[in-house]
Amino acid sequence: MRIGFGYDSHRLVPGRALILGGVHIPSTLGPEAHSDGDALIHALIDALLGACALGDIGQLFPPSDEQYRDISSRILLQRTLGLLSEAGFHPRNIDSTVILESPRLGPYVEQMRGTLGMDLGIPAAAISVKAKTKEGLGPTGQGLAVEAYAVALVEEN
């Protein structure tokens, strides 16, 4: 067993779709990003890569590379799982926290767990997504950014 940790944040701007954990969330603001800016999946990718000491998302999918423009982060997650598999590992369970002031994410958590479970090939029961706010504190609390933290446990095949 090995453990990995990941973090991501994106500035929120008008005119971008808000996608978190692969789920589209109705919002007037969305992440400024080269890809679709799914901060939860980005944190998760870094946690999975970190567990296997395979580098980080910026090295593997550089924002300077045009092939990743507006790409679904679920595709990046699939490629990450391929790298894990080549290295001889598979994910066992995930814990995560998403911090967003508005809209409230509670109603979407179950859908995120199901989507991530499908992508990771593990039951939703092994995937935790916790939604928090910063109660108005700091830039994220003022609704200027979304943040996500993730921990992943992986097992050698």
Q: Provide the binding-site residues for Mg ion, judged by CB under 5 A.
A: 8, 42
Closer CB to Mg ion, 16 or 42, in the complex: 42
Q: How far apart are CA 64 and CA 89, in angstroms?
A: 28
**CB of 110: closest distance to Mg ion in angstroms?**
23
Cα 103 to Cα 26: distance, rounded to the nearest angstrom: 8
Distance CA 27, CA 32 (A): 14
Minimum CB separation from Mg ion for residue 104, in Å? 22
In terms of CB distance, is 59 or 157 closer to Mg ion? Answer: 59
**What's the closest the beta carbon of residue 53 comes to Mg ion, in angstroms?**
20
Distances (CA, A) of 61 to 16, 36, 39, 107, 112: 20, 13, 14, 31, 23
The residue (of 36 and 101) whose beta carbon lies closer to Mg ion is 36
Strand partners, 153: 3, 93
Which residue, 69 or 86, has its beta carbon nearer to Mg ion? 69
Q: How far is the CB of 26 from Mg ion (least distance, A)?
A: 21
